[in-house]
Structure 1
Amino acid sequence: MRTVRQLLESKGPEVFAIGPDAAVIDAIRLMAEKGIGALVVLEPGGRLAGMVSERDYARKIVLEGRSSKDTPVRDIMTAEVATVRMDDVAEACMQLVTERRVRHLPVVAGDEVVGLVSIGDLVKAVIEEQQRELEHLQRYITS
């Protein structure tokens, strides 16, 4: 099974982040500009503060009738974030996103966020692994 390190090597380690004191509207604009559904929220020193997603926006701004211009990200972000490390395997990450019902996992090395894996990255890795196993079995059967 592929590791998080291998996933990041194939997709790149780019992480889009925002500060907790930024206005929610700025977070939504950044997500729209980058075509992504979530941002890592980093304190000024680079420490992981949480995650903010389109889901957070829909539930905590739209449904509550709050202003995205006047509300800081800190007020709607998810502060308790599940994280993974470079040597974790995709299967364990998939279990984590399923159990926690999240779509994004920040990758940490020490206190630093070094990447982000999404449920899409994990599904792709699992499908590729299954395809390799199927091809191996087909070669075994035909030889």
Structure 2
Amino acid sequence: MLIAHVLREKGGAVHTLTAEALLRHAAQELNARKVGALVVLDLEGELVGVISERDIVREVARGGADAMEEKVSAAMTRKVITAGMDETIDECLERMTDRRIRHLPVIDRGKLVGIISIGDLVKHRIAAVEAEAAAMQAYITTH
């Protein structure tokens, strides 16, 4: 199954903020949106990073509560690993596992069109395995 299919089912909503926002604001957005990461855009709307719960925890561990007044740009992941619409779930799962990341912004023709989490991909992979098992069971019981 392709990432395009995952996004079609999930939807293309992407929660974003700017690199100039404070970590406090990022934490509030993560909580309010019930997501684990936000895509960070520059003032022109270009992808410049990802800020995750893990990034914020690292900053608080280093700087205490005062870290929450730092800019997102201080804590965000800058080398963003992305996915394309024509990639498979398995390709993306492998990349996420190898890089130890849980979110991939999805890019199509140079534009941000969505974000997928490892949970999104595992959910679709499990559904595919269950469908295969049901088809196999149906085949066996009719032959």
TM-score range relative to shorter protein: over 0.9
CA contact (8 A) 1:84 1:107 kept: yes
Aligned to 1:74: 73
SS at match of 2:69: coil
Question: Aligned ranges for residues 98-113 of structure 1 at < 5 Å?
Answer: 98-113=97-112
Report the TM-score when normalising by structure 2.
0.94
User: 1:53 touches 1:77 (CA, 8 Å); kept in 2?
Assistant: yes
Of stretches 133-142 and 123-132 in structure 1, the one that deviates more from structure 2 is 133-142
**Please, what TM-score do these two structures have when normalized by structure 1?**
0.94
Structure 1 CA distance for aligned equivalents of residues 107 and 45 of structure 2: 11
Any stretches of 5+ residues in structure 2 without a counterpart?
Answer: none
Alignment of 1:1-143 (within 5 A): 2-60=1-59, 62-66=60-64, 67-143=66-142
Q: Which amino acid aligns with 1:105?
A: L
Offset of 1:127 from its aligned partner? 0.1
CA-based RMSD: 1.1
Q: Which runs of 5+ in 1 are unaligned?
A: none
The structure with the greater share of residues assigned to helix is: 2
Percent identical among aligned pairs is 38
